[in-house]
Chain A
Amino acid sequence: MFKAPVMVKYMKKNKTQEIISFAIKKFRFSDWFAERFIKVVAFMSITFVALIFIFVFREAFPVFRMDVKQKIGSVDLVQEKYGEEEATPATANPVSGSAIKVSKPSSTLLSNVWMPVSDNPRYGLIPLFFGTLKVTLIALLFAAPIAILAAIYTSMFAKPWIREIIKPAIELLAGFPSVVVGFFALMVLATVFQDIFGYASRLNSFVGGFAMSLAAIPVIYTITEDALTAVPKTYIEASLGLGASRRQTAFHVVLPAAVPGIFAAVILGLGRIFGETMIALMATGNAALTSINPFESVRTLSATIGAEMAEVVFGDTHYSVLFLIGSLLFIFTFALNAISEFYFKNLVIRKYQSKK
């Protein structure tokens, strides 16, 4: 069991080496055990990701099952039309009132109203999706240009000693706990922006989006800076040698070469904003509205989980719906990560290998 791989491994070497390696490579239990043990522990990281998948989905699953059970189980609900907006109120049938309550979830998921705590609970995810997209868009509009321009400055224009200060300073921002950024947005930014723009609701998607951009800037900045620095020096020298200015070199040579890396950076920044909970809870106002006005409150998916999970009953429909939202968030960030990891990384590698 043990000697076979050694044989194969040393077959191609000369006779003396082969003998020496056989002499040295004795079977030692501690070595064998250590390797197996380390491998098993390392494997646990994969297990953890799988467990997160399984358990977040497991708790979300009853949303659909309750509905099926209901359709089979009770006869007096046949006349109810599930697809239509204004379903009959839960109080219409006092006898099986509770049964109706748990039967509704998956039929109201696509409705326009998020009202989980009421006599007639409705779990419309549309306003939450809308709110999340709106805040994400606002945050990205702030974060992406600022972070990318700052990265260009750091890697192209800054003097080395300035770079040594800027880089750790911006990475410092990544070390700010999001609850601190949320607190800052709640106490300071909200007031400042209200004074400037004079809107009605103090906490809104604009304040939340701006605060979230502070969480995304270090992510986008760091990866963009890496991508820009990874562009071969020969490109820059060739461009400068042809008489281009540093600005032209930066924007016409280095930036296009680093585009896949910058895309990956923006995508990871997007994931960071999308899942951000504390800032959303504290600064977006948490009203599930669907208005295009950036100065209106919104309620994001993650903030909904954070705000409501502590109050729900274990195993309740509301509980399952919140887990369903969590599953959606998880799938989305997982997909974003996979895209940036496999697609863009390959692009970067292929680009430099083919041109070098």
Chain B
Amino acid sequence: MNRNRKDIIIESLTGISVLLIIFIIISILAITIKGGWPNLSWKFLVEFPKDGMTKGGIFPAIVGTALMTLIMAVAAVPFGVITAIYLAEYARENSVFAKTIRFAVKTLAVVPSIIFGLFGLGFFIGFIGQNMDKIFNGGVMKWGQPSILWASLTMALLTLPVVIVSVEEAIRTIPVEMREASLALGATKWQTIRRVVLPGSVTGILTGTILAISRGAGEVAPILFTGAAYYLADLPHSLSDQFMSLGYHIYIMSTQSANVDATLPIQFATTLVLLLLTFSLNAVAVVLRYRIRKKAK
């Protein structure tokens, strides 16, 4: 075979792989929009499910997802930011301690999400929750069962690496000169971190939070048995209530419901809502991250 022709064939093969991936992305988007858009209305977003979930909206699922990711962010972001400060400011690159922390964070990032669900069930519900019931409630079951609090904390563990990575990246873009200037003016290390490093990495903290929320809103496996409910007639009122979530709603409606075909429009519309939510969050995060990287250059 002619060398030139071989070059062209193989080069186009690599190009075709890229096109294939992009084709799949576009078809997922197109099919979800085509199936979901006609059913998407204001009413769909603010109504409760009706008639055994065959009609009505997804209001409780939206609220449930929002509340869960909010509690998750409250738990995960401070932890993530402090760990990132340690890794970027205090840790010496070659110390065993810092290396172990990095490895632990990496492990948290690659452990399958279902394992977090098991952990939430075994640790939060089975250990902490049941012991809390024994001590504070005299054995009455309140915390020792699936609830929005345990689901959120489980999800917080899962999204911790996302926060840490984003914040650390942002902290590292702050010029060393700014730290040196602060130290030279007589500020201590902690003062420098609080007054110079943290304000400079607000965008990074925001990016991490948004990415974590987007990830948490989309994950279903960790909340399968730590708090998500099939159907609730009411919104969650306290931390010990169960909640409905968008992702779980899609899973349940498409696999477990008695009449899958009848609820197909609802399923597509719910998928579209979830996809739009994670998409817009990711888009914001991408723009923020782009700004951080531009500033660094």
Contacts and interface: CB of A to CB of B under 8 A. Distances in A.
A80 interface: no
A56 B115 contact: yes
Nearest to B28: A184
Contacts of B250: 179-180, 183
A180 B254 CA distance: 11
28 contacts: A35-B189, A41-B86, A42-B86, A42-B91, A45-B104, A45-B105, A52-B115, A52-B116, A56-B118, A56-B119, A157-B15, A170-B18, A172-B25, A173-B21, A173-B25, A176-B28, A179-B218, A180-B32, A180-B218, A184-B28, A187-B254, A245-B7, A275-B111, A275-B112, A281-B255, A306-B221, A310-B225, A334-B111
B278 interface: yes
Given A31-B189, A48-B108, A38 B126 contact: no
Contact of A247 (B7, B122, B275): B7
Interface of B: 3-4, 6-7, 10-11, 13-18, 20-22, 24-25, 27-28, 31-32, 35, 79, 82-83, 85-87, 90-91, 97, 100-101, 103-108, 110-119, 121-123, 126-127, 157, 160, 164, 186, 188-191, 193, 214, 217-221, 224-225, 247, 250-251, 254-255, 264, 267-268, 271, 274-275, 278-279, 282, 286
A322 B225 CA distance: 13
Contacts of B164: 45
A118 interface: no
A184 B115 contact: no
Given A150-B17, A157-B15, A55 B123 contact: yes
A105 interface: no
Given A149-B17, A246-B11, 18 more contacts: A31-B188, A38-B82, A45-B108, A45-B164, A147-B21, A172-B282, A173-B21, A183-B254, A186-B255, A187-B35, A188-B27, A247-B6, A274-B112, A281-B251, A282-B251, A329-B114, A333-B111, A333-B115
Contacts of B254: 183, 186-187, 282
A169 B104 CA distance: 29
A147, A169, A183, A322: most-surrounded residue (chain B CB, <10 A):
A183
Contacts of A323: 118, 122
Contacts of B90: 35, 38-39
Contacts of B274: 177, 179-180
A24 interface: yes
Nearest to A274: B112
A55 B225 contact: no
- 7 closest Cβ contacts across the A-B interface? A275-B112, A177-B218, A153-B14, A42-B86, A149-B17, A277-B221, A34-B190
Contact of B101 (A43, A157, A184, A310): A43
A238 interface: no
A217 B17 CA distance: 11
Interface string A151-193: 0111011100000001011101101111111111011100000
A147 B17 CA distance: 7
Question: Main SS of chain A's interface residues?
Answer: helix
Contact of B286 (A48, A168, A214, A305): A168
A51 interface: yes
B123 A51 contact: yes
Contact of A278 (B7, B79, B186, B251): B251
Contacts of A157: 11, 14-15
Nearest to B230: A310
B3 A245 contact: yes
Main secondary structure, interface of B, reads helix
Contacts of B25: 169-170, 172-173
A59 B251 contact: no
A30 interface: yes
A244 to B, nearest CB: 10
Contacts of A177: 217-220, 247, 274-275, 278
B219 A153 contact: no
Interface in A175-223: 175-184, 186-188, 214, 217, 221
B115 A146 contact: no
A59 B115 CA distance: 12
Nearest to A39: B86
Contacts of B114: 275, 277, 302, 305-306, 326, 329
A246 B14 CA distance: 13
A172 B6 CA distance: 32
Given A38-B85, A176-B278, A337-B106, A59 B10 contact: no
Contact of A180 (B103, B118, B275): B275
B189 A46 contact: no
Nearest to B248: A179
Given A282-B254, A305-B118, A42 B31 contact: no
